[in-house]
Amino acid sequence: MVQMEEKHGPLETIFKEPPNEFRMMPFWFWNHEMVEKEVTRQIKDHFDHGIGGEFIHPRHGRLTPYMGRRWLENVEAAADKCKELGMPCFLYDEDNWPSGPAGGYITGPYRKENRGKYLAMFDEEVFEGGKNVQYKLDYKQISPETEFVAAIAVPNPDDYPSFAKVIDKQQDVTAFVKNDVLTWDVPEGGEWCVMFFAMLVNPPDGNLNGYIDILREETVKEFIDFTHKKYAEYFIERGKKEYLGTVIPGIFTDEPSMAHMSVSAAQMLPWVTYTPAMPARFQEMFGYPFNQVLVSLVHDTGAISAKHRCNYWACTIDMYVNAFYKQIHDYCDTINWRSTGHVNSEGAFPSHIKNHGDFFKVFQYMHYGGVDQLTEDVRPDHIEDLWNLQKNPYGGMANEMLLASKFASSAAHLLGKPRVLVEAYGTSSWDITMASAKRVTDYLVATGCDLFVPHSFNISEDTYRKGDHPAAFNYQPYYPHWKRLADHCGRLCTVMNAHSGTLRADILLFYPAKSFHAEMMPTSSPMAESIGQFMTHN
């Protein structure tokens, strides 16, 4: 508490009137035509209702062109007003979400290199020994952009689908595929099973022209140049370089993932995250060919399974973390920004692993780690009720939400991060009460969160905007009383911040990332599901 008092004064003073940096800073949806007069009016209105800062969030309904001149001028007007009121003005790195495609500008029909890649086993065929086969591959029906990658042959086992007894005899027959035809002399002595693998590519349609190849450093650099760098250069051009790291402390990234696969025809195929540079990186890291792990990713191969799978995940995590999080973190360091936000599916197992591989390695390269708290109920005794999806589409995720905030705060303690952000109250519907919001607030503070980003305050609720994951708290009938909750939240965050004391934890729970990596086949397995059930239901 000494450090806090040196900066803000005695505890009694800061508890009575919490500093802005510990007050709520909502997701502020810019979801209509942006007009500077209305932007500055709403900031003052938020301030009068106990809000300490803003997270400007481009959102559905936006009419002002994203990252165009008028957009940037409105951001500048917001920053100017926040400076006047002593409020931090955080930015957001995407048009809607998830973060990466830069509003679809770096993906699209002619940017295949930037769209997400995945490796799928699209066919598995058994051939009689001693025969010459000519087998036509049919993978273009998945999508026109699908590319053949590998063919691996293994003696067909008596106890299929386990290949544990025969994996040492696997052969890479990729070189025998020409013009999409496998021409191969099958070895004598029984049947052989050939597995065919192809690279899937997210299509250039749907949300943001398809999600990015988040393992590709060049793609992420293009995203940073379009968004982070463009914001920074605008303020430098306007003679306000001093805003970077002060008035504008940082930028929010929202739900990035290495598993945003949107190839609809391949949803039922066994697939893993991939990028064309992966085989070379794998060889560099582990000293043997990437193709040797492919069978182990989709089948049981006995004792060697764990080695191959763990090596695959280690390579993927290395590429994922360095391409996305480290590049953003390092660029933010150059302009004194703090990178913050939250990842996709942070509370669930095994999807938590499928999306990120290792939550703690991701958080290593975020200045403020964070979490998404969906729904309004955090009471374990209400879990059964929340499986009713009529109220909101995320009701069944309640168990995950109970655990997610502990992941974020544990990562912050382990990695020495000063704040734990939470995107709070999202998708709770219009009937969320202040009492319910307070209950969520208390739980999140108790589990380690101290930077609240309410979801949401909105520029407009005109027409269909009302249905965008409500509630918008600045349009609620109880909004005149919001300052009471904002003061309560600010006081808790002030006194419970990591600088105010030392964590005392009596129980250590190991994070079983490698246990998942060893069991995932390729994105789940009965054992992985069992581990997940233990983590979220005990």
What does the pLDDT read at residue 523?
75
The pLDDT assigned to 392 comes to: 42
Distance CA 509, CA 517 (A): 18
Domains and their CATH numbers in the chain? 18-111+208-261+312-500 (3.20.20.80), 114-203+264-302 (no CATH)
Measured distance CA(450)–CA(422) in Å, rounded: 8
**Rounded mean pLDDT of the chain?**
92
Q: Edge-to-edge strand order for the sheet containing 451-454? A: 369-374, 420-426, 451-454
Q: Are strands 181-185 and 250-254 parallel, antiparallel or unpaired?
A: unpaired
Q: How many C-beta neighbours within 10 Å does residue 454 have?
A: 27
| pTM (2 d.p.) | 0.94
Residues 379-426 pLDDT 10s = 554 444 444 444 444 444 455 667 789 889 999 999 999 999 999 999
Q: Which tens digits make up the pLDDT trace of 3-31? A: 555 567 777 888 889 999 999 999 999 99
What integer pLDDT is reported at residue 379 of this predicted model? 59
Q: What is the residue type of 126?
A: V
Q: How far apart are CA 498 and CA 415, in angstroms?
A: 12
242 Cβ neighbours under 8 A, 6+ residues apart: none
pLDDT at 536: 63
* High-pLDDT (> 90) share of the chain, %: 80
Residue 6: its pLDDT value, please?
Answer: 58
**What's the pLDDT tens digit per position in 46-63?**
999 999 999 999 999 999
List, for the chain, all residue ranges whose pLDDT scores fall below the cut of 50.
1-2, 381-397, 498
Longest dimension (CA), the chain: 86
| Residue 391, pLDDT score | 44
pLDDT at position 429 is 92
Which helix (H) or strand (E) segment is 311 a member of?
A: helix 304-320
User: Do 199 and 66 form a contact (C-beta atoms < 8 A)?
Assistant: no
Q: Which residues contact 133 (CB under 8 A, 6 or more apart)?
A: 127, 182, 183, 184, 186
Q: Is 350 helix (H, G, I), strand (E, B) or coil?
A: coil
Cβ neighbours, 10 Å, residue 61: 21
Cα distances (angstroms) measured from residue 141 to each of 145, 198, 236: 10, 12, 50
Least Cα distance to 371 among 260, 450, 295 occurs for 450
Cis peptide bond upstream of 471, omega within 30: yes
Nearest to 492, CA basis, from 427, 444, 538, 432: 444
